[in-house]
C-alpha cells in the first residue's frame, strides 16, 4: 500500500525567505507525482506535475524535484510572499488504476 | 475557477436525513472523482468514474451512494450518516487516456452531520 508523508506539517517563515517542503512515498512504482495548493475552505489547485521519468519541473518561483529511487520529492519556493500562504499537498499516481494517494500536507504561513 | 462546480457549498444534516451532493464539470473530461478530506487526515479517494462507469470504490460504506448519469455530472447521495462523516467532500475531473494527467478540483462541500 502506498503511503505518502509530508514534513513539516506546518511552517512559518518571514517574507522573502527561500523554503523547501518535503514529500516521501513508500512505493517507487509511481507514474507521476504532483504538488497541489489548497487555500482555506477551497479545493485544490495543481502547481506542478512530474512524470516518473523526469527529475524536476519549474513554474515561476516554484521548483519541484523527484528522486523516484529514494521515494522523495521536494518543492522549493523562492522569495516567499504572503500570498504563498496555503496548504501544500503532495500526491502520487500509482502505475495501475486511477488512484492519487495524498500526503497530509504542509501548512505554510508567510509573514509580511 | 477550475471548471468544476459543486453544490451546495455547505450542508448541515441530521443522522436520519437524506441529502445529495452535486458536481458538474465544464471541461469535457471523461473521468470524475469523489474525495473526502477530514480534519487531520490525508485526502482520501472515495469513488472513480470513467465514461460514466464506476472503476474504483475505495471501501466506502454503503451510506454513501454515488451516481454518474453522464460524463459531466456526478452525485453523492447521503443517508443515515454518522457524525464522523463530517468533512469536506471534494469532486475532481480529468481527461483519462494513455497519459495520466492532472485532476481539476471543485471548491468542495463542507458537510456537518449532527
Note the pLDDT tens digit of each residue in B14-60: 988 899 999 999 999 999 999 999 987 889 999 999 888 888 888 89
With bands split at pLDDT 50, 70 and 90, how would you rate the model's confidence at A98? low
Q: What is the rounded CA–CA span in Å between residue B114 and residue B110?
A: 13
Burial of A54 (0-12, 13-18, 19+ CB in 10 A): middle
What is the rounded average pLDDT for all residues in chain A?
93
Cβ neighbours for B22, distance < 8 A, ≥ 6 positions apart? B6, B7, B73, B74, B75
User: Looking at chain B, which residue has its C-alpha nearest residue A43?
Assistant: B107
With bands split at pLDDT 50, 70 and 90, how would you rate the model's confidence at A91? very high
Count of CB pairs separated by less than 8 Å, A with B: 59
Q: Is B10 touching A (CB cutoff 8 A)? A: no
Q: Which of B31, B96, B105 sits opposite A44 (nearest CB)?
A: B105
Q: What is the mean pLDDT of residues A24-45?
A: 91
Q: Do residues B79 and B13 make contact, with C-beta atoms less than 8 angstroms apart?
A: no
Q: Do residues A94 and B97 make contact, with C-beta atoms less than 8 angstroms apart?
A: no
| Selected residue of A44, A53, A88, A90 to mutate for chain B interface (largest B Cβ count, 10 A) | A44
Q: How many whole angstroms from its chain centre is CA A88?
A: 6
pLDDT at B75: 97
Q: What is the rounded CA–CA span in Å between residue B56 and residue A12?
A: 38
Question: Using CA atoms in the order A25, A42, A51, B50, what is the torsion angle rounded to 10 degrees?
Answer: 100
Residue whose C-alpha is closest to residue B35's, from A22, A33, A107, A44: A44
Cβ distance of A104 and B31 shorter than 8 Å: no
Q: What is the rounded CA–CA span in Å between residue A61 and residue B81?
A: 43
| Selected residue of B4, B34, B43 to mutate for chain A interface (largest A Cβ count, 10 A) | B43
Alpha-carbon separation of residue B94 from A96, B91, B113 (angstroms):
16, 11, 29
> Which residues of A lie closer than 8 Å to B, measured between beta carbons?
4, 31-32, 34, 36, 41-46, 49, 89, 91, 93, 97-105
Cβ distance of A93 and B100 shorter than 8 Å: yes
- Chain B residues 48-77 with a CB less than 8 Å from chain A: 48, 50, 55-56, 58
Omega of the bond prior to A91 within 30 degrees of 0, cis? no
pLDDT tops 90 at residue A4: yes
Amino acid at each position: 500500500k502506498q503511503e505518502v508523508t509530508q514534513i513539516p506539517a506546518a511552517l512559518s517563515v518571514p517574507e522573502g525567505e527561500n523554503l523547501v517542503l518535503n514529500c516521501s512515498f513508500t512505493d517507487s512504482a509511481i507514474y507521476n507525482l504532483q504538488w497541489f495548493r489548497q487555500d482555506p475552505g477551497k479545493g485544490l489547485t495543481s502547481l506542478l506535475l512530474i512524470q516518473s521519468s523526469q527529475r524536476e519541473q519549474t513554474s515561476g518561483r516554484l521548483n519541484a524535484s523527484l528522486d523516484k529511487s529514494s521515494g522523495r520529492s521536494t518543492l522549493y519556493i523562492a522569495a516567499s510572499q504572503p500570498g504563498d500562504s496555503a496548504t501544500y499537498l503532495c500526491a502520487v499516481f500509482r502505475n495501475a488504476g486511477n488512484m492519487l494517494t495524498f500526503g497530509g500536507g504542509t501548512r505554510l504561513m508567510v509573514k509580511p | 475557477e477550475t471548471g468544476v462546480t459543486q453544490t451546495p457549498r455547505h450542508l448541515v444534516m441530521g443522522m436520519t436525513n437524506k441529502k445529495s451532493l452535486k458536481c458538474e464539470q465544464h471541461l469535457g473530461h471523461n473521468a470524475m472523482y469523489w474525495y473526502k478530506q477530514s480534519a487531520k487526515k490525508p485526502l482520501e479517494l472515495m469513488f472513480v468514474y470513467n465514461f460514466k462507469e464506476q472503476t474504483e470504490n475505495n471501501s466506502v460504506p454503503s451510506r454513501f451512494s454515488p451516481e454518474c448519469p453522464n460524463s459531466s455530472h456526478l452525485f453523492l447521495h447521503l443517508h443515515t450518516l454518522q457524525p464522523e462523516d463530517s468533512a469536506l467532500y471534494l469532486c475532481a475531473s480529468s481527461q483519462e487516456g494513455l497519459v495520466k494527467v492532472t485532476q481539476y478540483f471543485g471548491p468542495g462541500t463542507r458537510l456537518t452531520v449532527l
